[in-house]
Every structure is written in C-alpha cells, then in structure tokens.
C-alpha cells in the first residue's frame, strides 16, 4: 500500500499529480498550518511576459499566525475568479486545448467554495478526474482521520493507520522527515524522481514548474502521457 500525504495546492504543477498517480491512497493534509508564500493558494502560469510567468493567487481573509489551511477563508469579496480567467484566456489563447482547460477552471469557480482547503483540493480533484488518475485509489482528508501529533510522528501514524508499506513524498521532506522512524517500523520511504518531461509549450524555454493547467491547454488528455515519473529509495536520494 503506497501512501502520499500532501497539503492541498491550487492547480499545482505536474509533479504533484505524478505522486498521486503512483499511490494507492492519497491524504489531503488539510489541518496543518498555512504557510504564506506556499503553493496552497497560488501557482505560476507560463506567459510571454518579460519574466516568463505570472502568478494566479487566491486572496484570503482573516489571515493570522498559525491558522490552519482548513480554517483559512477565501476573500470572495474580490473578483479574483474573473481575474484568473482573463489571465488564462490571454496566456493560452493560441493553445490547442484552451477551451478544455478553461472549462475545467470554470467548473471549479461555479462551486463558489469558501475555504482555501476546499478550493485547492477540488482543483486537484478536477484534474485527477480529467486525466483519469483515480482508478483503484482511495482519498482521505487528514482532519477526518482523528490522528494527533505533528511533523514526522503524525505522518508516520497516518501511514500506519492506512496500513501503508511505502510512503512516497516530494523533495521538501528531506529537511524534516525522520526516516529512521519509518525504517524501523517496516515502512519504505521513497522520494519522487521527477523526470520533468518536456511537452509542447508556448513562448520561451520549457518550464516544468508551472500549473498543470499549462499541460492541459497544450496537450489535452494526451497530457497523461507526461505524468509518469517514478521514485527513488530515500537513502539513494540523500546520498
């Protein structure tokens, strides 16, 4: 049983969906502290601007130190949805599958969600459905599991609770994860080995870190062929 645990992100980059593609169970890590400047409520899209990209940022309200992602509200008093749609229309007006991408985004905005956690996770769910990545996978939300703790200990307890044999994670975990905790309890930790496969992209040199919306606009459902990175054992990754 391969487990992925990640904070919800707003239409994140392709690498996040590669993690999901490899797992048997995905946990939406929604009840952890919101980090300003993270990808929870913002993402880059590729443009022909001088720097090569623009940010799509979802505004928040009542932001305070220590607030959890699932408690953070969207500032829907601002017309940010139209702003995002206009930026996307302008950036991808010549992309072959722009309509499919815009339809997906519009489907999200039509839901009129109120928290960053709901919005970001739903954006990911729509992409998972578009690329048909959900087969034989189970999806959980951390705040519904009733598992206490923090940092590596809580991640381990979630993996254990779900009868995980493998824990797959992104590169950021190398800075905090207690690998020995998993190892001594028979759980194999694997890091993503991102291929960052180039696909047809507009404007300047290929940028693998922009929103998955870029992949959809440029390749349509054939974009699934680019979602195929694998993993590497943690000791090899850290060597």
Cα angle: 88, vertex 91, 93; to 5 degrees: 90
pLDDT by position in tens, the chain (length 239): 999 999 999 999 999 999 999 999 999 999 999 999 999 999 999 999 888 999 999 999 999 999 999 999 999 999 999 999 999 999 999 999 999 999 999 999 999 899 999 999 999 999 999 999 998 999 999 999 999 988 999 999 999 999 999 999 999 999 999 999 999 999 999 999 999 999 999 998 999 999 999 999 999 999 999 999 999 999 999 99
- Are 77 and 96 in contact by the 8 Å Cβ rule? The answer is no
pLDDT confidence of residue 7: 97
The DSSP string of 22-55 is: H-SEEEE--SSB--TTSSSSEEEEE-SSTTSEEE
pLDDT confidence of residue 150: 87
Domains identified in the chain, total number: 1
Beta strands in the chain (DSSP E): 2-6, 25-28, 42-46, 53-57, 60-61, 73-74, 138-141, 166-169, 188-193, 230-233
CA distance 82 to 219: 24
pLDDT confidence of residue 215: 98
pLDDT confidence of residue 19: 98
Q: Which domain holds residue 11?
A: 2-238
């Amino acid at each position: 049983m391969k487990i992925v645990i990640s904070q919800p992100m707003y239409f994140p980059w392709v690498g996040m969906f590669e993690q999901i593609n490899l797992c048997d169970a995905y946990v939406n890590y929604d009840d952890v502290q919101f980090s300003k400047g993270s990808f929870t409520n913002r993402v880059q899209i590729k443009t022909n601007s001088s720097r090569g990209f623009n940010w799509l940022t979802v505004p928040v309200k009542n932001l305070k130190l220590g607030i959890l992602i699932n408690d953070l509200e969207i500032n829907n008093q601002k017309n940010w949805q139209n702003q995002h749609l206009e930026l996307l229309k302008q950036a991808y007006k010549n992309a072959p599958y722009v309509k499919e991408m815009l339809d997906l985004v519009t489907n999200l905005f039509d839901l009129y969600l109120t928290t960053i956690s709901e919005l970001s996770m739903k954006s990911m769910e729509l992409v998972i459905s578009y690329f048909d990545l959900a087969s034989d996978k189970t999806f959980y939300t951390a705040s519904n599991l009733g598992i206490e703790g923090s940092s590596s200990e809580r991640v381990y307890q979630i993996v254990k609770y779900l009868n995980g044999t493998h824990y797959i994670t992104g590169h950021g975990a190398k800075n905090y994860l207690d690998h020995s905790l998993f190892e001594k309890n028979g759980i194999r930790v694997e890091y993503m080995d991102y291929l960052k496969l180039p696909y047809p992209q507009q404007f300047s040199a290929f940028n693998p870190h922009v929103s998955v919306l870029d992949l959809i606009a440029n390749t349509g459902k054939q974009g699934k062929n680019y979602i195929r990175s694998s993993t590497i054992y943690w000791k090899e990754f850290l060597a």
